[in-house]
Chain A
């Protein structure tokens, strides 16, 4: 066998193995989606969106309470987390730059990003739930905010750093004060990337169960009072899916399907933004 033939053979072997690995990986993803779609669509009906939870054995029950609770929990977490994250990311990229303080914040935020979410749940339990004496929607939103924050902070930091420094210099050279350079030029240049970070941050917390288990807990009925325990799709799904009642299990599938589709679409929209940015 000549040297060239050997190389071609090695190349084919490597390609075969990586293709097989890719197929296995994607195979599982498609399998999960397939099971979810077939069971989820089966369980879907209009009652899901219009009725609240019922005790097992009742014919008609829905997920309205969990859907609305989820919107509250994630929505309020986003209302707090997005501005905080963007401002903190702006500090890192535009003010802190390579300073020691900025580097420490970056490191801590990276550690926070990989912290198990249940630990954050326990932390919020200790500082919010325990002093209040009961579970609440606020505690859930705070836990989600803490998980969301480092994601938005780091993407904002990264995306702002990608804006060429000559663009900043050009704005300064026209006599612009720093805050106007950031607001009018730098943010504009990083718009798509920051938006992606926000969407991915929201998508990440929307699927969290562990930190909600001991913060917002759950409620089988509709509650929009953030001071009280609040239902979420994830905890409801966890409760229903592990219950022995078939109608509850069906609702669990429906919750899993709705949640997955929500997160999937957020991710796809986020990727599309990024692609649009790169395409330019």
Chain B
């Protein structure tokens, strides 16, 4: 059994006996995994490639459902409901749980329209309201000063780091409860990475954050809690400073000291 530290504060999400099997696979990629996700904090998921951390992350907004044949088992409790229930309204769920991808995913439209996309989906048409919320989102994503004079320009003209911050602005514009980050800096240079990390730390005031990262230093820098996963199971979940300094499990210790991975 995994060593899981008691999350005393309120929980954003609660994973219970969760199993995930990809279409056509014999064995589940995630096996009977249970873990709490603390509210208004940053939880990092670390582990070697193929350990299932991205698979778990992509279950929280059920983006796996885009591809037929994937199977969920168990429960993920969010706002007192099991989001794995087949009656779950995925469109609504995804406005509550946003996602930032590994590579920046700016849509082929203007910077303004990119951020407006999610807002317009929610039926906001009023021009002043749109403008206000877009400005606020861009400011919160620390990119407003760089783009305020070219909101009508094509978003693909921005640098990779700027595009990633634009994607964060787009995601927070709809005011989600939870934000999922899937290795958000692996395609970025060190300076852009530092910018995104600062943003993650600042955002936890308002949203609960789960971040998948290959980079242990990054997990140590930005997260409050860290979960170490191995072969589809959660080995250890603890407060970040404790997990990295005094890991309880031998496997965790071996991984964070670089013995494998």
Contacts and interface: CB of A to CB of B under 8 A. Distances in A.
B105 interface: yes
B244 interface: no
A175 B97 CA distance: 9
A157 to B, nearest CB: 18
Interface string B122-156: 10000000000000000000000000000000001
A194 B61 CA distance: 32
- Which of A168, A172, A191 has the largest count of B CB atoms less than 10 A from its CB? A172
Contact of A166 (B95, B103, B122): B103
Contacts of A173: 61, 63, 94, 98-99, 101, 171
Contact of A188 (B93, B98, B109): B109
A119 interface: no
A171 B66 CA distance: 12
Nearest to B167: A170
Contacts of A279: none
Q: How many of chain B's residues touch chain A, expressed as a range?
A: 20 to 34
Interface of A: 164, 166-177, 180, 184-185, 188-189, 191, 280
A70 B122 CA distance: 48
Say whether chain A's binding surface is mostly helix, strand, loop, or mixed. Answer: helix
Contact of A175 (B91, B103, B109): B91
Interface string B172-207: 001000000000000000000000000000000000
B155 to A, nearest CB: 11
B121 interface: yes
A174 B109 contact: no
Contacts of A166: 101-103, 105
A97 to B, nearest CB: 9
Contacts of A172: 63, 66, 94
A188 B103 CA distance: 19
A175 B107 contact: no
B259 interface: no
Contacts of A168: 66
B108 interface: yes
A272 B198 CA distance: 43
Contacts, number: 65
Given A169-B66, A280-B156, A174 B101 contact: no
A185 B99 contact: no
A185 to B, nearest CB: 5
Contact of B121 (A170, A175, A188): A175
B170 interface: yes
B107 A171 contact: yes
Contact of A169 (B63, B92, B109, B171): B63
- Which of A171, A173, A176, A189 has the largest count of B CB atoms less than 10 A from its CB? A173
A167 B92 CA distance: 19
Interface of B: 61, 63, 66, 91-95, 98-99, 101-103, 105, 107-109, 117-118, 121-122, 156, 167, 170-171, 174
A214 B66 CA distance: 48
Contact of B107 (A177, A185, A191, A280): A185
Given A169-B99, A174-B94, A176-B121, 4 more contacts: A166-B101, A167-B107, A175-B118, A184-B107
A171 B209 CA distance: 20
Nearest to A165: B66
A280 to B, nearest CB: 7
Given A168-B66, A169-B63, A169-B66, A174 B95 contact: yes
A123 B137 CA distance: 60
Nearest to B109: A188
Nearest to B180: A173
A170 B155 CA distance: 15
Given A173-B63, A175-B174, A188 B91 contact: no
A174 B66 contact: no
A189 B108 contact: yes
- Which of A167, A169, A174, A185 has the largest count of B CB atoms less than 10 A from its CB? A174
A177 B121 CA distance: 9
Contacts of A191: 108
20 contacts: A164-B105, A166-B102, A166-B105, A169-B63, A169-B99, A170-B99, A170-B107, A173-B98, A174-B95, A174-B98, A174-B117, A175-B93, A175-B118, A175-B121, A175-B174, A180-B121, A184-B107, A185-B108, A188-B108, A189-B107
Contact of B117 (A164, A169, A171): A171
A167 B61 CA distance: 16
